[in-house]
């Protein structure tokens, strides 16, 4: 092997000596790797361009268009094509940033006039022209000062900002035709490799996400290697629009938000409050079975509570504060500091542990106005919070029980796909974490053991733990395939130390308990929004605000319909009577639109026989049955929390 050669190792284990500086794709071809559908390469695990020059011994593989990493590269490259199209059509436009996202991409632009739908059509058409030009997408590496000179010369202030903030001594930018942008890459080899794409919408966005900065215009789009994948995604988006919890919340009279009162503050209407009550009841049942104790903590506390916890230093900008009698008070942004105060009242013995403390606690956090979104991101919300104080030897059982609770609760909602993510500390930088090595190892081992005990597959994320402990995050996949982050099981070595929590162990010494933060829903508001979209507003019987509506065919049977309603209410069913003089077909259509599970049609025949004609939402007629038989059927669905009526 000469001084000008390097050794490349391929996934098969095969090695090959190649000339230093050879492009990755050429080395891969020489090593027998299929390169026809490759779009990038992995060099020692790092994603690089196909033409990346190899400068040292390395492990090399190619990224094929079907690989998980490929979609982000397709989308990022498509975003550059979009930015190029915008500047060709609207030369006065300045470019900010344009990352790929989980389901597409966007770019922020500065322009006096917002982009219109007609503009989006023009931009899409120009993008197709750029793709047809088959422009090479080339990486350039220059000294940082040279990159600043280039973008200052082009009058691109945002690019200058990013070079200054994110570049090292050498800056990289990508160029296709006359367009270039500061970027780390990698990218597709040329615009000809761009697949199917669609521009979706325009929205206002603050520069760097701060309301103090100027407003830019953000164009959202999405891209896939194949048109069939794009079509499937667009179909999912259309379905998501139909399920949008903001629209359904209004149509079904579930909740409202009022800007004149304050953004991000939710008003639960009677029907929405009914659903919430059922969620709370179900969760209380589960927690009572597991020996949780329910507590309540104040909504306002002196700032010293949150200074001691450390939240004041880390989250001050998200807190609401008040000055009372020349003292600063904080409107509660989280429940955990309050729970430590309850724990501290009275000496705890090792026999008293574990203490499982639960609270449906309402908290308030400042969110920028541009970030709020229906029920998904609000300023006031109620967490289904719990904190477990336990001994080290109890840790595994407590985590196992939390996972069992997650599984049992989610089974009531039909979440068939549940994903688990384990976040641990960065082993190369242990100094930034609270707690000893022994505590971290014990807690991480407990999380892993609990997951493996239940046979739960999980993804491990190094360096993703917060400074005060490792955690398990749980994601569910809804009815149309979207993942949602919900539950968290989080260790905390920080608060027991800060608040000097302890228990008396068997040997008579005082020891700090382990503290576990646990939430299942996360918040009732966000979880309710997810449920609305998961069920498309058609809640199962046990959750439905109105479980049955009686539909008399005429006023002649109104007295019998009233008798049926009375019997249903006495049986504990949430029912209502449609007293309108409309034809029964119109009443059925309205009940269907309101997504009521049971429709009970009553006419002279039903009145005479003491029966009802049952209709199920979206399923149609189920035939005639006695009122008692219907009540039994409905109560069984309620008691078992069945998903089907």
Residue-wise DSSP of 553-606: SSGGGHHHHHHHHHHHHHTT--EEE----S-HHHHHHHHHHTT-SEEEEE-HHH
Instruction: Give the residue ranges of the chain where pLDDT is below 70.
Output: 1-3
pLDDT at 3: 58
pLDDT at 506: 95
pLDDT at 279: 98
Query: pLDDT tens-digit profile of 127-183?
Result: 999 999 999 999 999 999 999 999 999 999 999 999 999 999 999 999 999 999 999
Say which CATH topology domain 548-639 has.
Rossmann fold (3.40.50)
- Tokens representing 86 are 């915008």
In this structure, whether the domain defined by 70-236 belongs to CATH 3.30.980.10 is answered with: yes
Measured distance CA(420)–CA(395) in Å, rounded: 19
Residue 553: which residues within 8 A CB-CB, separation 6 or more? 584, 601, 602, 603, 604
In the chain, where the domains are located: 5-64, 70-236, 257-297+335-534, 548-639
Measured distance CA(511)–CA(559) in Å, rounded: 70
Q: Among 158, 150, 218, 175, which residue's Cα sits nearest to residue 80?
A: 175
Q: Among 2, 38, 7, 40, which residue's Cα sits nearest to residue 22?
A: 7
Which active-site residues does the annotation give? Answer: 336, 365, 383, 385, 387, 471, 517
The answer to whether the beta carbons of residues 246 and 263 sit under 8 Å apart is: no
Residue range 5-64, CATH number: 3.10.20.30
Query: pLDDT tens-digit profile of 45-70?
Result: 899 999 999 999 999 999 998 898 89
pLDDT at 186: 95
pLDDT at 437: 82
User: Long-range pairs for 225-233 at CB < 8 Å and ≥24 separation?
Assistant: 225/65, 225/66, 225/70, 225/71, 225/74, 225/195, 225/196, 226/195, 226/196, 227/195, 227/196, 229/196, 230/195, 230/196, 230/197, 230/198, 231/196, 233/103
**CATH ID of 257-297+335-534, from 3.10.180.10, 3.30.930.10, 3.40.1160.10, 3.40.640.10:** 3.30.930.10
The answer to whether the beta carbons of residues 67 and 42 sit under 8 Å apart is: no
pTM reported for the whole predicted model: 0.85
Measured distance CA(132)–CA(125) in Å, rounded: 11
Neighbouring CB atoms inside 10 A of 614's CB total: 21
pLDDT at 35: 87
The answer to whether the beta carbons of residues 176 and 194 sit under 8 Å apart is: no
pLDDT at 231: 95
Q: Determine the length of the chain.
A: 645
């Amino acid at each position: 092997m000469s001084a000008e050669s390097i050794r490349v190792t391929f996934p098969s284990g095969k090695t090959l000596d190649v000339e230093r500086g050879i492009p990755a794709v050429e080395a891969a071809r020489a090593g027998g790797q299929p390169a026809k559908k490759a779009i990038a390469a992995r060099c020692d695990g790092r994603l690089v361009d196909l033409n990346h020059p190899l400068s040292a011994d390395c492990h090399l593989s190619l990224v094929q268009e079907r690989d998980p990493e490929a979609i982000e590269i397709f989308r990022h490259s498509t975003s550059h094509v979009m930015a190029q199209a915008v500047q060709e059509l609207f030369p006065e436009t300045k470019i900010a940033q344009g990352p790929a996202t989980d389901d597409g991409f966007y770019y922020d632009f500065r322009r006096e006039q917002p982009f219109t739908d007609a503009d989006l059509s023009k931009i899409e058409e120009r993008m197709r022209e750029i793709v047809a030009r088959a422009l090479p997408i080339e990486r350039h590496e220059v000294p940082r000062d040279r990159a600043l000179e280039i973008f200052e010369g082009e009058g691109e202030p945002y690019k200058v900002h990013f070079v200054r903030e994110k570049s090292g001594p050498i800056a990289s930018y990508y160029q296709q035709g006359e367009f270039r942008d500061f970027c780390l890459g990698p990218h597709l080899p040329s615009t000809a490799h761009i697949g199917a794409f669609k521009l979706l919408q325009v929205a206002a966005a603050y520069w760097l996400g701060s309301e103090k900065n100027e407003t830019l215009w953000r164009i959202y789009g999405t891209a896939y290697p194949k048109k069939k994948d794009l079509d499937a995604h667009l179909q999912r988006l259309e379905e998501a629009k139909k399920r949008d919890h903001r629209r359904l919340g209004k149509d079904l009279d579930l909740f409202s938000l009022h800007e004149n009162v304050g953004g991000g503050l939710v008003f639960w209407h009677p029907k929405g409050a009914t659903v919430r009550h059922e969620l709370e009841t179900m969760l209380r049942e589960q927690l009572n079975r597991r020996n949780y104790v329910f507590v309540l903590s104040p909504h306002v506390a002196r700032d010293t509570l949150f200074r001691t916890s450390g939240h004041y230093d880390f989250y001050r900008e998200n807190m609401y504060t008040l000055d009372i009698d020349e003292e600063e008070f904080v409107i509660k942004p989280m429940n955990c500091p309050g729970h430590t105060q309850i724990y501290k009242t009275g000496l705890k013995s090792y026999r008293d542990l574990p203490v499982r403390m639960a609270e449906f606690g309402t908290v308030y956090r400042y969110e920028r106005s541009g970030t709020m979104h229906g029920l998904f991101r609000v300023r006031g919300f109620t967490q289904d919070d719990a904190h477990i104080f336990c001994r080290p030897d109890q840790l595994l059982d407590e985590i196992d029980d939390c996972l069992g609770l997650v599984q049992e609760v989610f089974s009531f909602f039909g979440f068939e796909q549940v994903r688990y993510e384990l976040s641990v500390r960065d082993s190369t930088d242990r100094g930034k974490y609270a707690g000893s090595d022994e505590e971290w190892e014990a807690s991480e081992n407990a999380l892993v053991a609990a997951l493996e005990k239940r046979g739960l597959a999980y993804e491990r994320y190094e360096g993703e733990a917060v400074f005060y402990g490792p955690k398990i995050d749980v994601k569910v996949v809804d009815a149309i395939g979207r993942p949602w982050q919900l539950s968290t099981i989080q260790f905390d070595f920080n608060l027991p130390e800060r608040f000097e929590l302890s228990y008396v162990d068997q040997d008579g010494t005082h020891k700090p308990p382990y503290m576990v933060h646990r939430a299942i829903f996360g918040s009732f508001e966000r979880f309710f929004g997810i449920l609305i979209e998961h069920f498309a507003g058609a809640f199962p019987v046990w959750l439905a605000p109105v479980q049955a509506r009686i539909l008399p065919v005429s006023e002649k049977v109104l007295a019998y319909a009233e008798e049926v309603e009375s019997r249903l209410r006495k049986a504990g069913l949430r029912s209502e009577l449609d007293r309108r003089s409309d034809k029964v077909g119109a009443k059925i259509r309205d009940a269907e639109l309101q997504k009521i599970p049971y429709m009970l049609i009553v006419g002279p025949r039903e009145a005479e026989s003491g029966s009802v004609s049952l209709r199920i939402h979206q399923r149609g007629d189920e035939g005639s049955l006695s009122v008692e038989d219907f009540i039994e059927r409905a109560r069984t669905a309620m008691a078992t929390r069945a998903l089907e009526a």
